Amino acid sequence: MGPASAGAQDRGTAGGPEVIEVALEGTAKEGKKESSKKRTLAGCPVEGLLQPAKLTRAELYKEPTSEELNRLRETESLFHSSLLRLQVEELLKEVRLPEKKKERIDAFLREVHQRVLKVPSTPKTELTDQTWLPAGVRVPLHQVPYTVKGCFRFLPPAQVTVVGSYLLGTCIRPDINVDMAVTMPREILQDKDGLNQRYFRKRALYLAHLAHHLGQDPFFGSVRFSYTNGCHLKPSLLLRPRGKDERLVTVRLHPCPPPDFFRPCRLLPSKNNVRSAWYRGQSPPGDGSPEPPTPHYNAWVLQDMTLESHMQLLSTVLGSALGLKDGVALLKVWLRQRELDKGLGGFSGFLVSMLVAFLVSTRKIHTTMSGYQVLRSVLQFLATTDLTVNGISLCLSSDPSLPALADFHQAFPVVFLDSSGCLNLCADVTASTYHQVQHEARLSMALLDSRADDGFQLLLMTPKPMIRAFDHILHLHPLSRLQAACHRLKLWPELQDLGGDYVSAALGSLTTLLEQGLGSRLHLLAHSRPPVSEWDISQDPPKHRDSGTLTLGLLLRPEGLTSVLELGPEANQPEAADFRQFWGSRSELRRFQDGAIREAVVWEAASMAQKRLIPHQVVTHLLALHANIPDTCVHYVGGLLDALIQSPKENSSTGEEALAAAVRCYDDLSRLLWGLEGLPLTVSAVQGAHPVLRYTEVFPPTPVRPAYSFYEQLRERASLLPRPDKPCPAYVEPMTVVCHLEGSGQWPQDAEAIRRVRAAFQLRLAELLTQQHGLQCRATATHTDVLKDGFVFRVRVAYQREPQILREMRSPEGMISLRDTPASLRLERDTRHLPLLTSALHGLQQQHPAFSGAARLAKRWVRAQLLGEGFTDESLDLVVAALFLHPEPFTPPSSPQVGFLRFLFLVSTFDWKNNPLIVNLNNELTVEEQEEIRSGFLATRTQLPVMVIVTPQDRKNSVWTQDGPSPQTVFRPPLDMYDVLIRLSPRHIPRHRQAVDSPAASFCRGLLSEPGPSSLMPVLGYDPPQLYLAQLREAFGDLALFFYDQHGGEVIGVLWKPSSFQPQPFKASNTKGRMVMSQGGELVMVPNVEAILEDLAVLGEGLVQAVEARSEKWTV
Amino acid sequence: METRTLPAPDCNSQRPPPLPAGKMVARRGKRGARDSEPGIPSPPGYSAIPIKFSEKQQASHYLYVREHRVREGTKSSWPQKRTLFVLNVPPYCTEGFQVAYVVFQKPGGVSAALVLKGPLLVSTESHPVKSGICKWISNYADSVPDPEALRVEVDTFMEAYDKRIAEEEAQAEEEEGVPDEEGWVKVTRRGRRPVLPRTEAASLRVLEKERRKRARKELLNFYAWQHRETKMEHLAQLRKKFEEDKQRIELMRAQRKFRPY
């Protein structure tokens, strides 16, 4: 039996870590080195902060030992880098079964073996007479139709053997399963048991009897049924130890026929073994048409027959090759992270082991390869080989009686034959699943070849659940609906073959249907596999409809999403009928501009958001038309979050169009600026520097048309003012545009003078724009506001050398050196970094149309959590840009929804402490430069902000996160407890309508709905809540933090800073808002909370409705 | 009487000088002194005066005041004896909590202020102080720029600037080529033979150029020892990287980063 023979292999696997240990120690042999290792490590676990390695010169330059050289050479040839090698070793250590547990499992297996052999026999009965079964156990099979010929009796198994990964040493944690093949004695089976599910009935009864006896045995903690790999005809029995070891291991008993009981030639894919007369209760049509083949049924019988031979094959191949075993373990982790390995038709660990065996037999993998190389070779093979077209075979025999690969291709979507040449190992794998595996393999190969990123982390450690991997998701529920679909699709032969599993039967047809319908919009369609359930032995087995929902994932092609037209063939072509049949009533005859008259389908979609959701229309239409699945059963998750970035009065668009209109207006303005006549210096560049101009403003601006009666008018300055007696006017934020003027000797070289010259230019700009183009302008010393077509732009004149002049310092010796000052940094940020960032992200939007939506959802979310203050606009934009530029292990998002979900995942998992987020805009950074940035980051970590975001233009400083977020903001738990809430009056919240829960009614904001003459400058940037917040932070910033959602928030949350509430000794510089108290005879200062609470109301007079103190924390 | 607000000693931002606090103190100051009760604790050397925004408020802040004094010998821009030093001026008088120096015409004002009992009121019916919406609207109105004023300011400044530059140039031209008392001649950018400006960047550039010139002449991996050293350098790099990798692994292990699911 198994465990005994496993001994040799156990030793083999145990050798793995040992060898590695030796190699590791080889580098750390000297005591000195040991201590240095400890030293460098000592600091880091405490703070969890990495530090650059500190090695003395002697340590760095000592003569290498031969072990060290060997290891280095090995790392270079077998692995990618030393880090990858170490990571892989650590991962294997984590997932591999420790020796101690193996011993306990072996003991348990021996017990199971003995107990199974001791189960008593039963007398012979008809298969349909199941009265002998005791009350506490139900047959783990749906016996439809019930009547079947044949007799059954239970006899103890002829043999019980351990098969599968446990023996091979490739099983991985956390769930350890040991498969045991229980060979039923020959006497139980009869000649024609291969027919009409008789074998499966007996198999189920055999298990039921076993279950009954083992279930009474106090030795087992749990005895339950499950479906083997989700196949409804093949239950298996799960045994777990009692007591503390209950979760240690699950033993799965698989009954199987005696070897050579069934003749393989009768189980070939073209044969029928389920008769229509029996299954459908009707004789086959009298015209003598043949019985439909039952390839899947046949394959399931064959699988049971080959359990042991496969085991032998695998143990010969993997036997002593450690690298191969490591490789299989890594592949299993890889598959599991992608949710590809579970359920009927999953790409299981067994399949990849066989694939490795195949690649060894074709010499694509060598037994001396490392685990990493095996992983790579298998991925490479999967990426480049399409098993749905060119199947592969382990069979070496050239027996002409064996069927050809082509025969298998007819019966199965994916073909991989075992060594007998009769069994398709991929019998249950659907084409979609295989294509998904291929897609994943290609992505992973690209990732491994790119070198830039942390391949290990992305390849093996990042889970890829469907919801984050696919742009759109749809759930089909309830599943019973698929039964009707099978009938509509005329899938009776498939049902007969699959034993009534209508989910599996319909799956292939449905995916083909949708793939055809989605056409150029679709990149990949994937489906979930029904989960493998477990049930108690006293219960009936779960039905097909009990496996929850069927989930389909759509990976979309952004370029295909722009079209609303499905172009069909010309009306007189024969294919036109097919097209009409496929699209049903949606297909119409249309005349096109080139004169052709064609069949075509036109979808209703005006905005980008609606175009993105055309797949929804396609899916519901086709499912209803061809599969009789009404749209109430299709739960489409594609645009659920769209409502949050729709402007308050518009629900057909998510704002991309409005943003584009603003950008067009900006383009016009920039042309005007370029062509302006009469400026003393020419314009050298006009650059946008506002979120609108990079498509990331949550609520895009709309053209302003003020109703004058609503405002105070300041005629002499052509401006409108808010009126105290009216609700505050609409919020209009000017869009910043930087206008660079050419360098020239005319510019003064003195900061103060430059400021005045710039102011003169601002004035001149306003004059010229008014004179030459009739635009309303308002100039200040730093900018000129320009009203154009209802949009307001804030043009800032910039002189390229100004930041440098601000940096100049003259030493006493007259040497001029350059030192950053706050003013120079600010100017550089506003006139250099911001325009560059804006144009790079503008470009990104052209490449990835979903960027805008994702970035805006992300910002909206952060602000709705009242965390907006801690994050600059730009830092959030960059984080989202990273999701598009470095999507690995995913593909770039094609819908805002998936972009946003990945944003949440990144924010929740990224280790900001030890990693900079590198956003490689325009792909300007080379791999070496990124490496340099990382090491530079480690060396200066403590001086850098909490979040560090690096771009090609900003390699060291992380400009956009300098002032926040603070560690408190990033790590503060979801907030529901504020110390004080300040409720605001909606009357004075200009953006009230943007609120997450859109208000039923708000106030008139003094805008006309019709275009009118607008010659007066509207009220700009007037947002009372923001003014109020600025005052609060100014006055009480030392004592409290203030949180607010700028998008229509009605409440400001206040958190007292605990450190400020510690009583402090009197200090003249630190009296702000405090009062002196005598405490224990000493005079101390504490915040004067009562007075401060009243201040909150005083400062916000008119805006504040109520100030609610919610906690008593401050009573010292 | 003159009153001005200064930023707190530890803060360096400039603020417009708001007035209400001073006015109010002065008005009360004239009314004369009552004996201050010892009820309100105050730091040594200071008196505490309660202050409220208006009648409506319940709780009050406290101004801590003392006479403005400086150590002997240090210069102060505030007149001795006549200046009151006020801490903790509430935010509706100024922006944020501020420190104020109130200068009285007569030294008596200071002593009168020191014994004020309060509570003082900032906004009264006769002297209302704007806050909230009203204040923001008037701030907005004030912020609407007057281009004429800006133009005048720019022109005056530039005129003065141009004049200054012209004078400097004239002076530089005069000194051009004229040796000073020790006989040194100053070489400038504008002279007959202009030189590089003396900046750090320029000198670094020169050094870098030199270094590159030297490096070009040097042979690489020519001698056996050079070869050996390059190899050793490579090995040292690998070792360093390995050490860092190990540290990274250790950290990840501590964070349980190797649990795949």
Q: How far is CA A72 from CA A37, A197, A800, B250, in A?
A: 18, 59, 50, 20
- What is this structure's pTM? 0.84
Q: Cβ–Cβ of A90/B158 closer than 8 Å?
A: no
B231 touches chain A (CB under 8 A): no
Which of residues 65 through 94 in chain B touch A, CB cutoff 8 A? 87-88, 90-92
pLDDT band, very low/low/confident/very high, at A943 (cuts 50, 70, 90): confident
pLDDT band, very low/low/confident/very high, at B226 (cuts 50, 70, 90): confident
pLDDT of residue A864: 83
Give the tens place of pLDDT for each residue, A326-342: 999 999 999 999 988 88
Answer whether residue B76 shows pLDDT above 90.
no
CB atoms within 10 A of CB A986: 19
Which of A118-122, A431-435, A501-505, B107-111 has the weakest average pLDDT? B107-111
Peptide bond preceding A478 in cis form (omega within 30 of 0): yes
- Across A1060-1076, b (16+ Cβ under 10 Å) vs e yields bbeeeebebebbbbbbb
Percent of residues, chain B, with pLDDT higher than 90: 5
Q: How close is the nearest chain B Cα to the Cα of A42, in Å? A: 10
Size of interface A-B (CB pairs under 8 A): 249
Q: Cβ–Cβ of B44/A1083 closer than 8 Å?
A: yes
A798 vs A779: CA distance, rounded Å = 14
CB atoms within 10 A of CB B75: 5
Q: How close is the nearest chain A Cα to the Cα of B227, in Å? A: 14
Answer whether residue A525 shows pLDDT above 60.
yes
Residue B16's identity, in one-letter code, is P
Whole-number average pLDDT of chain A: 84
pLDDT band, very low/low/confident/very high, at A515 (cuts 50, 70, 90): very high
Give me the half-sphere count of Cα atoms (radius 13 Å) on the Cβ side of residue A162: 26
A30 touches chain B (CB under 8 A): no
pLDDT of residue A38: 37
pLDDT of residue A965: 67
pLDDT of residue A11: 37
Give the tens place of pLDDT for each residue, A531-579: 778 888 888 888 888 777 889 999 999 888 888 888 888 888 888 889 9
Answer whether residue B116 shows pLDDT above 80.
no
B38 touches chain A (CB under 8 A): no
Phi-psi category of residue B249: left, alpha or beta, with phi > 0 → left and psi -120 to 50 → alpha: alpha
Q: Cβ–Cβ of B136/A1027 closer than 8 Å?
A: yes
Q: Cβ–Cβ of B133/A753 closer than 8 Å?
A: no
Answer whether residue A786 shows pLDDT above 80.
yes
A535 vs A250: CA distance, rounded Å = 14
Peptide bond preceding B17 in cis form (omega within 30 of 0): no
pLDDT of residue B192: 59
Which residues face A999 on adjacent strands?
none
B50 vs A115: CA distance, rounded Å = 89
Q: How close is the nearest chain B Cα to the Cα of A846, in Å? A: 36
Nearest CA in chain B to A810: B199
Cα pseudo-dihedral A401, A402, A405, A411, rounded to 10: 100
Among A944-958, B105-119, B156-170, the range of highest mean pLDDT: B156-170
B11 vs A1059: CA distance, rounded Å = 20
Give the tens place of pLDDT for each residue, A394-419: 888 878 888 888 889 998 999 999 88
CB contacts of B139 in chain A (<8 Å) are 1027
Which residues face A598 on adjacent strands?
A570, A590
Which residue from A502, A486, A345 is spatially nearest to A412, judged by alpha carbons? A345
Q: Cβ–Cβ of B88/A1074 closer than 8 Å?
A: yes
Q: DSSP letters along A465-532, please?
A: -HHHH-SEEEEE--TTHHHHHHHHTT-HHHHHHTTT-HHHHHHHHHHHHHHHHHGGGEEEEEEPPPPP
pLDDT of residue A665: 94
Token pair, residue B1, equals: 């009487």
A859 vs A865: CA distance, rounded Å = 10
Q: Cβ–Cβ of B41/A1076 closer than 8 Å?
A: yes
Beta strands in A830-978 (DSSP E): 917-918, 949-950
Which of residues 114 through 153 in chain B touch A, CB cutoff 8 A? 131-137, 139-141, 144-147, 150-151, 153
pLDDT of residue B13: 33
Determine the average pLDDT of the residues in A657-663: 92
B194 touches chain A (CB under 8 A): no
pLDDT of residue B198: 66
A815 touches chain B (CB under 8 A): yes
Please, what are the domains in chain A?
96-261 (3.30.460), 292-447 (1.10.1410.10), 467-564+603-638 (3.30.70.3020), 656-970 (no CATH), 976-1109 (3.30.70.3030)
Nearest CA in chain B to A808: B199
CB atoms within 10 A of CB B115: 13
Which of residues 856 through 915 in chain A touch B, CB cutoff 8 A? 911, 914
Residue A45 phi, psi (nearest 5):
-65, -25
CB contacts of B9 in chain A (<8 Å) are 1068-1069
Cβ atoms of A12 and A169 closer than 8 Å? yes
pLDDT of residue B187: 65
CB contacts of A1099 in chain B (<8 Å) are 91-92, 131-132
Cβ atoms of A980 and A718 closer than 8 Å? no
A1102 touches chain B (CB under 8 A): yes
pLDDT of residue A15: 35
Q: Cβ–Cβ of A1098/B53 closer than 8 Å?
A: yes
A428 vs A357: CA distance, rounded Å = 20
pLDDT of residue B188: 64
* A436 contact partners, CB below 8 Å, separation of at least 6: A338, A340, A524, A526
Answer whether residue A702 shows pLDDT above 60.
yes
Give the tens place of pLDDT for each residue, A39-80: 333 334 445 676 666 777 777 777 777 777 777 777 776 666
CB contacts of A713 in chain B (<8 Å) are none
pLDDT of residue A892: 93
CB contacts of A1094 in chain B (<8 Å) are 53, 57-59
A353 vs A318: CA distance, rounded Å = 9
pLDDT of residue A100: 87
pLDDT of residue A835: 93
pLDDT of residue A1112: 60
pLDDT of residue B81: 75
pLDDT band, very low/low/confident/very high, at A1068 (cuts 50, 70, 90): confident
Peptide bond preceding A700 in cis form (omega within 30 of 0): no
> Which alpha helices (H) appear in A584-690, and where do they start and end?
608-612, 614-627, 656-674
Residue A965's identity, in one-letter code, is P
pLDDT of residue A713: 87
pLDDT of residue A877: 93
Which of A428-437, A943-952, A954-963 has the weakest average pLDDT? A954-963
pLDDT of residue A380: 93
CB contacts of A1088 in chain B (<8 Å) are 59, 61-62
CB contacts of A928 in chain B (<8 Å) are none
* A134 contact partners, CB below 8 Å, separation of at least 6: A212
B258 touches chain A (CB under 8 A): yes
A787 touches chain B (CB under 8 A): no
Widest CA span of chain B, in angstroms?
97
A988 touches chain B (CB under 8 A): yes
Q: Cβ–Cβ of A1035/B96 closer than 8 Å?
A: yes
pLDDT band, very low/low/confident/very high, at A697 (cuts 50, 70, 90): very high
Calculate helix-pair angle for B107-114, B20-30, nearest 10 degrees: 90
CB contacts of B58 in chain A (<8 Å) are 1090, 1094
> Which alpha helices (H) appear in A152-294, and where do they start and end?
165-168, 198-216, 276-279
Cβ atoms of A378 and A331 closer than 8 Å? yes
Percent of residues, chain A, with pLDDT higher than 70: 91
Of B62, B88, B161, the CB nearest to A748: B161
Peptide bond preceding B119 in cis form (omega within 30 of 0): yes
User: For A284, which DSSP code?
Assistant: P
CB contacts of B231 in chain A (<8 Å) are none
Substitution target from B190, B198, B242 for chain A, most A beta carbons within 10 A: B242
Q: How close is the nearest chain B Cα to the Cα of A747, in Å? A: 12
Answer whether residue A527 shows pLDDT above 70.
yes
Which of residues 75 through 114 in chain A touch B, CB cutoff 8 A? 81-83, 86-87, 90-91, 93-95
A934 touches chain B (CB under 8 A): no
Looking only at the bridges linking them, the beta strands covering A808-810 and A816-818 are antiparallel
Looking only at the bridges linking them, the beta strands covering B120-121 and B47-52 are parallel
Q: Which carries the bigger pLDDT value, residue A982 or residue A34? A: A982
Q: Cβ–Cβ of B97/A1103 closer than 8 Å?
A: no
Nearest CA in chain B to A58: B236
pLDDT of residue A563: 86
Give me the half-sphere count of Cα atoms (radius 13 Å) on the Cβ side of residue A276: 14
Of B96, B236, B248, the CB nearest to A50: B248
Which of A327-336, A360-369, B31-40 has the weakest average pLDDT? B31-40
pLDDT of residue B8: 35
pLDDT of residue A667: 94
A718 touches chain B (CB under 8 A): no
Cα dihedral across residues A1092, A1093, A1098, A1104: positive or negative: positive
Q: How close is the nearest chain B Cα to the Cα of A45, in Å? A: 6
Q: Cβ–Cβ of A53/B161 closer than 8 Å?
A: no
> Which alpha helices (H) appear in A349-480, and where do they start and end?
349-361, 371-384, 405-411, 431-450, 455-456, 466-469
Which of A197-206, A545-554, A1013-1022 has the weakest average pLDDT? A1013-1022
* B38 contact partners, CB below 8 Å, separation of at least 6: none
B223 touches chain A (CB under 8 A): no
Which residue from A165, A422, A452 is spatially nearest to A306, judged by alpha carbons? A422
Q: Cβ–Cβ of B133/A988 closer than 8 Å?
A: yes
Residue that has been written with the tokens 């940094």 in this structure? A825
Q: How far is CA A593 from CA A570, A572, A579, A597, A867, in A?
A: 13, 18, 21, 9, 53
Give me the half-sphere count of Cα atoms (radius 13 Å) on the Cβ side of residue A1085: 23
Nearest CA in chain A to B66: A1068
A1086 touches chain B (CB under 8 A): no
Among A241-250, A432-441, B62-71, the range of highest mean pLDDT: A432-441
Which residue from A1014, A1054, A1047 is spatially nearest to A1033, judged by alpha carbons? A1054
- Across A364-383, b (16+ Cβ under 10 Å) vs e yields ebeeebbbbbbbbbbbbbbb
Determine the average pLDDT of the residues in B44-48: 79
Of B132, B245, B249, the CB nearest to A1101: B132
pLDDT of residue A3: 38
Determine the average pLDDT of the residues in A718-740: 90
Which residue from B20, B40, B44 is spatially nearest to B116, judged by alpha carbons? B40
pLDDT of residue A951: 85
Nearest CA in chain A to B60: A1091
- Across A63-94, b (16+ Cβ under 10 Å) vs e yields ebeeebeebbeebeeebbbbbbbbbbbbbbeb
Answer whether residue A852 shows pLDDT above 60.
yes
Answer whether residue B25 shows pLDDT above 60.
no
Cα dihedral across residues A611, A617, A619, A622: positive or negative: negative
